[in-house]
Structure 1
Amino acid sequence: MAQRCEICGKGPLYGHAVSHSKHAVNRRFMPNITKRTLVHDGRKQKINVCAGCLRTRNKQK
């Protein structure tokens, strides 16, 4: 599954995992993406949506 939200475009971010000894290792911070069937552009579609967009959509209803 593609790790990008089809509504807002949120995708993976890159940064460092920093341990207690301050040793920084590269890592990816992945967004919380799920595949949902939603009405998007007037028709039902299966789209990849982040949790933030789902919450915003539920608040607007």
Structure 2
Amino acid sequence: MSRRCDLTGKSALVGHKVSHSNRKTKRRFLPNLLNVTVISDALARSVKLRISANALKSVDHRGGLDAYLLAAKSEVLAPRLRTLKKEIEKKLAKAS
């Protein structure tokens, strides 16, 4: 399981830990990933995701998982969420 957010694509970054004497050693900056169950209103089911805390705040701000996925670019999303986005678009198109 990679350390990558399913929604935003955030992953580990590499940088330096700098000591007081200005000595530099490699370190990794890991994203704050959470295992979350989010409900899709259009599909009326829950989806388990591994997303960053920042993405969770963004989902709440945009008004739920469906609204977030419809506004998100498909290139950033995980393959599993791309198919979920297509299912939501089909369901909403059928309802209209």
Same fold? TM cut 0.5: yes
2:38, 2:3 → 1: CA distance?
18
Structure 1 residue runs of 4 or more that deviate by more than 6 Å after TM superposition = none
More strand by share: 1
Q: Whose helix fraction is larger, Structure 1's or Structure 2's?
A: 2
The number of residues matched between the two structures is 61
Give percent identity, aligned residues only. 36
Kindly indicate whether structure 1 or structure 2 has the higher relative contact order, using CA contacts under 8 Å at least 6 residues apart: 1
The letter of the residue matching 1:60 is: R
Give TM-score, length-normalised by structure 2.
Answer: 0.57
Unaligned runs of 5+ in 2: 64-96
**Correspondence 1:1-61 to 2 at 5 A:** 1-39=1-39, 42=43, 43-61=45-63
TM-score normalised by L of structure 1: 0.85
RMSD of aligned Cα (Å):
1.8
> Which letter does structure 2 place at the counterpart of 1:45?
V
Question: Which residue identity is paired with 2:60?
Answer: N
Which protein shows a greater Rg?
2
